[in-house]
Structure 1
Amino acid sequence: MTAEKIPLAGVIGTPIAHTKSPQIHRHWLTSMGLPGHYIPMDVATDDLETVLRTLPRAGFVGVNVTIPHKERVLDIADLVTDRAILIGAANTLIFRKDGKIHADNTDGLGFVRNLESAPGGWDPRAGPAAMFGAGGAARAVIAAMLDAGVPEILISNRTRVRAEALQSDFGKRLRVFDWVQAGNMLDYAATVVNTTSLGMLGQPPLRVPLDGLQKGALVTDLVYAPLKTKLLEVAEEAGCRTVDGLGMLLHQAVPGFERWFGTRPTVDSATRAAALR
């Protein structure tokens, strides 16, 4: 009798040593007693397609994709979901039994689930959202917020033309502010999101005036190192509700794990602890 193959998954990027994804997936595999392994793989851009076409032959059922490959994999995949096309990037690949690579983007789903976990939950229709940044993560966040029913997104980026490009792609529910006026967005915002790396360990601080934060607004930072950024500290002092960025990483991992290993995992305090080890 032939033994059943142990399913393999992993995460591909370069560099990759910083990733917390293996800790998260290994925790779920162990806690649920499932067979399988999840492996970090440092893959150069020139080798990406060769690696992706070879991995299924080695028993891989799928992979996560991170910087700098999230856009490139759209050209390699055989099937791409509508949301991955809209965002212009994929973070989750499924290697199908018919040999085709299926690409999806679960970042937006992870973002929304994280906000919904806030004390008191999240009402996307409560008012406009203010967003700092216009990079790859911003696209996933915008798509998710618009889909959830946020009436308007106020966006500011250090390079205005990048914010204007997002406005062109996503439409009239986006309004662009100059970076020097970014603090003014907070006067109207029920939801505040930092999608930049500003405030991350080793990066410059987020130097946006925060005195316009509205009491009761929900504030989140995609940065999770440190867990409590200066933005979240100031927001708490202003009477805002806050959600750190780690939850988005945890929740975006759920759909891929379910597809690869056949069981839907739960994001709980033990999952957070595993990611922080």
Structure 2
Amino acid sequence: MKKWFAVIGDPIAQSKSPEMHTSWYENDGIDAAFIPIQVKKEELEKAVDSLKLLGVSGFCVTIPHKQSIIQYLDEIDETARLMGAVNTVVRLQNGKLKGYNTDGDGFVRSLEEVIGEEHRDQSVLIIGAGGAARGIAFALKNQGYENITVSNRTVSKAHDLVDALGIGKAISNDEASETLNQYKILIQTTSAGMIYGDTDLPFSIDDMSTEAIAADIVYNPLMTPFLQHASNIGATIVTGIGMFVHQGAIAYEHWLGHYPNTKAMIEKLTENVK
């Protein structure tokens, strides 16, 4: 029986997951299909039941379902439980659905491909406190990054993340804007700049240090307003393509048992995404 996989989210038209996974299937000689499915918040439970009923082999989960999906899965792994978010679902041999989170590890792999491992003792500001931010925060901690600050429009959510993480501090977006030049690594985890998403950044980034390392998880467009500003002032930038490819590759490994060619995919998508 032919395997089929999917990505669910809202919006979904901008997703490059189908292109990426289909290319990997072709390269690896795997008879499988990958389809994008737009799922509204109020339709999530029905969508999960339908995917399960129709025999999906696995699926990716993107904005805005990474946290709310958990209640509709049969089980989740320990990392996803700690992060409180799922971005990858595997259909087990017994037919049950198990959730994982590959966002964080995918981000750290992409970050250190660009900057190496020598910055793990530097100050980090994570902008946003949603599902992706949680995944990234836990993965950074696991790799030895301990000087972590989280800012969010709703400060209580930033405090919740820091409390769950067990290290770091939570601040408001206003405070983040006022102290921005104090941070070496800036990680933008909101949907700001995403095609079909928000266009405005959470706060002014005019005081970003020229020596900063600026990373964005949005990959379409490649140069978000956040990264464009960082590039203009001469800061080091890390686009969202690397995280996107590596988190997808980890999902692919969960589904099919081996890690695909990420280097070629990063080069391909970087050329294709504007």
With over 3 angstroms needed to count, the CA separation of the structure-2 counterparts of 1:235 and 1:51, relative to structure 1, is same
Q: CA deviation at 1:209?
A: 3.4
Q: CA deviation at 1:6?
A: 2.2
Partners of 1:271 and 1:30 in 2: CA distance: 16
Question: Is 1:225 matched up with 2:220?
Answer: yes
Q: For residue 127 of structure 2, what is the aligned residue in structure 1?
A: 132
Q: For residue 26 of structure 2, what is the aligned residue in structure 1?
A: 30
Q: For residue 51 of structure 1, what is the aligned residue in structure 2?
A: 50
Kept in 1, the 8 Å contact 2:152–2:172? The answer is yes
Q: For residue 255 of structure 1, what is the aligned residue in structure 2?
A: 250
User: 1:60-99, aligned counterparts within 5 Å?
Assistant: 60-99=56-95
With over 3 angstroms needed to count, the CA separation of the structure-2 counterparts of 1:11 and 1:209, relative to structure 1, is closer
Q: Which has the higher contact order (CA 8 A, sep 6+)?
A: 1
Give CA deviations for 1:82-101 in whole Å, capped at 9, x if unaligned.
11111112111111112222
Identity %: 34
Kept in 1, the 8 Å contact 2:245–2:265? The answer is no
Partners of 2:147 and 2:199 in 1: CA distance: 28
Match of 1:195 among 189, 192, 199: 189
Q: For residue 164 of structure 1, what is the aligned residue in structure 2?
A: 159
Kept in 1, the 8 Å contact 2:14–2:220? The answer is no
Match of 1:112 among 108, 114, 124: 108
With over 3 angstroms needed to count, the CA separation of the structure-2 counterparts of 1:101 and 1:165, relative to structure 1, is same
Kept in 2, the 8 Å contact 1:7–1:261? The answer is no
Give CA deviations for 1:48-99 in whole Å, capped at 9, x if unaligned.
342143133xxx3211122333223322322211111111121111111122
Root mean square deviation of aligned Cα = 2.3
Partners of 1:189 and 1:256 in 2: CA distance: 31
Q: Which amino acid aligns with 1:96?
A: L
Q: How many residues align?
A: 267
Q: Which amino acid aligns with 1:219?
A: A
Compute the TM-score of the two structures, normalised by the length of structure 2.
0.87
Partners of 1:247 and 1:177 in 2: CA distance: 28
Q: What 5-or-longer segments of structure 2 have no aligned partner?
A: none
Compute the TM-score of the two structures, normalised by the length of structure 1.
0.86
Q: For residue 6 of structure 2, what is the aligned residue in structure 1?
A: 10
Q: What 5-or-longer segments of structure 1 have no aligned partner?
A: none
Q: For residue 41 of structure 1, what is the aligned residue in structure 2?
A: 37
Q: Which amino acid aligns with 2:14?
A: H
With over 3 angstroms needed to count, the CA separation of the structure-2 counterparts of 1:103 and 1:62, relative to structure 1, is same
With over 3 angstroms needed to count, the CA separation of the structure-2 counterparts of 1:231 and 1:11, relative to structure 1, is closer
Q: CA deviation at 1:271?
A: 4.6
Partners of 2:70 and 2:11 in 1: CA distance: 20
Q: Which amino acid aligns with 1:67?
A: I
Partners of 1:186 and 1:73 in 2: CA distance: 33
Kept in 1, the 8 Å contact 2:242–2:266? The answer is no
Partners of 2:144 and 2:253 in 1: CA distance: 27
Q: CA deviation at 1:121?
A: 1.8
The secondary structure found in structure 1 opposite 2:57 is strand
With over 3 angstroms needed to count, the CA separation of the structure-2 counterparts of 1:28 and 1:127, relative to structure 1, is same
Q: Which amino acid aligns with 1:13?
A: G
Kept in 2, the 8 Å contact 1:137–1:195? The answer is yes
Partners of 1:151 and 1:52 in 2: CA distance: 39
Partners of 1:53 and 1:47 in 2: CA distance: 10
Q: Which amino acid aligns with 1:38?
A: F
Q: For residue 240 of structure 2, what is the aligned residue in structure 1?
A: 245
Partners of 1:200 and 1:38 in 2: CA distance: 22
